[in-house]
Structure 1
Amino acid sequence: MGVANRLDVTLRLVQGGERVSVAELAGRLGVSEMTVRRDLDTLESRGLVRRVHGGAVANRPRNLDSGFAPRAEWQAATKERLGAAVAARIEPGSLVLLDAGTTTVHVAEHLAGRGPLTVVALSLQAAACLADRDGIELIVAGGRSRVGERSLVGPLTLRALESLAFDCFVMSIGGVHAEHGWSEFSLDDAAVKQAGLAQAATTIAVADATKLGVRAFSQVAPLGVVDTFVTDESAADTDTHPSGPRTLEALRDAEVEILFA
Structure 2
Amino acid sequence: MYAQERQRKIAERARAEGRADVAELAADFDVTTETVRRDLTVLERQGLLRRVHGGAIPVERLGFEPGLADRDAVLTAEKERIAKAALAELPDEGSILLDAGTTTARFAEILPSDRELTVVTNAVPLVASLAVRPQLTVLLLGGKVRGRTMAAVEDWTLRALADTYVDVAFLGTNGMSAERGLTTPDTGEAAVKRAMIHAARRVVVLADHTKAGNDCLARFGDLSDADVIVTDSGLAPELEEQLAAAGPEVVRS
TM-score (normalizing by structure 1): 0.76
Please list the CA deviations of residues 183-204 of structure 1 after superposition, one character each: whole Å capped at 9, or x if unmatched.
1111111111100011110000
- Are 1:49 and 1:59, in contact at CA under 8 Å, matched by a contact in 2? no
- Are 1:141 and 1:152, in contact at CA under 8 Å, matched by a contact in 2? yes
Out of 99-108 and 244-253, give the one that drifted further. 244-253
Task: Give the counterpart letter for 2:117 in structure 1.
Answer: L
5+ residue gaps, structure 1, are: 14-22, 61-65, 236-243
Structure 2 equivalent of residue 122 of structure 1: 122
Please list the CA deviations of residues 165-217 of structure 1 after superposition, one character each: whole Å capped at 9, or x if unmatched.
11111010101112111111111111111000111100001101111110111
Structure 2 equivalent of residue 188 of structure 1: 188
Structure 2 equivalent of residue 76 of structure 1: 76
Q: Distance in 1 between matches of 2:232 and 2:217?
A: 23
Residues matched between the structures, number: 229
- Are 1:91 and 1:114, in contact at CA under 8 Å, matched by a contact in 2? no
Q: Distance in 2 between matches of 1:210 and 1:223?
A: 16
Larger radius of gyration: 2
- Are 2:180 and 2:222, in contact at CA under 8 Å, matched by a contact in 1? yes
Q: Distance in 2 between matches of 1:232 and 1:54?
A: 27
Identity of aligned residues (%): 30
Cα distance, 1:37–1:111 mapped onto 2, change above 3 Å? closer
Please list the CA deviations of residues 130-171 of structure 1 after superposition, one character each: whole Å capped at 9, or x if unmatched.
121121111111011111210111111111111111111101
1:251 is displaced (CA, Å) by: 2.4
Structure 1 equivalent of residue 18 of structure 2: 24
What is the Cα-based RMSD across aligned positions, in Å? 3.2
Q: Distance in 1 between matches of 2:91 and 2:64?
A: 41
Cα distance, 1:132–1:259 mapped onto 2, change above 3 Å? same
Structure 2 equivalent of residue 156 of structure 1: 156
Task: Give the counterpart letter for 2:243 in structure 1.
Answer: L
Which of 29, 32, 37 is the equivalent residue of 1:35? 37
Helix, strand or coil: the match of 1:234?
coil
- Are 1:87 and 1:114, in contact at CA under 8 Å, matched by a contact in 2? no
Cα distance, 1:189–1:158 mapped onto 2, change above 3 Å? same
TM-score (normalizing by structure 2): 0.78
- Are 2:40 and 2:51, in contact at CA under 8 Å, matched by a contact in 1? no
- Are 1:87 and 1:111, in contact at CA under 8 Å, matched by a contact in 2? yes
Task: Give the counterpart letter for 1:35 in structure 2.
Answer: R
Which of 237, 256, 259 is the equivalent residue of 2:248? 256
Helix, strand or coil: the match of 1:111?
coil
Helix, strand or coil: the match of 1:88?
helix
- Are 1:25 and 1:36, in contact at CA under 8 Å, matched by a contact in 2? no
5+ residue gaps, structure 2, are: 27-32
Task: Give the counterpart letter for 1:25 in structure 2.
Answer: R
- Are 1:193 and 1:220, in contact at CA under 8 Å, matched by a contact in 2? yes
1:86 is displaced (CA, Å) by: 1.0
- Are 1:92 and 1:116, in contact at CA under 8 Å, matched by a contact in 2? yes
Task: Give the counterpart letter for 1:218 in structure 2.
Answer: A
Helix, strand or coil: the match of 1:213?
coil
Q: Distance in 2 between matches of 1:214 and 1:41?
A: 15
Structure 2 equivalent of residue 20 of structure 1: none
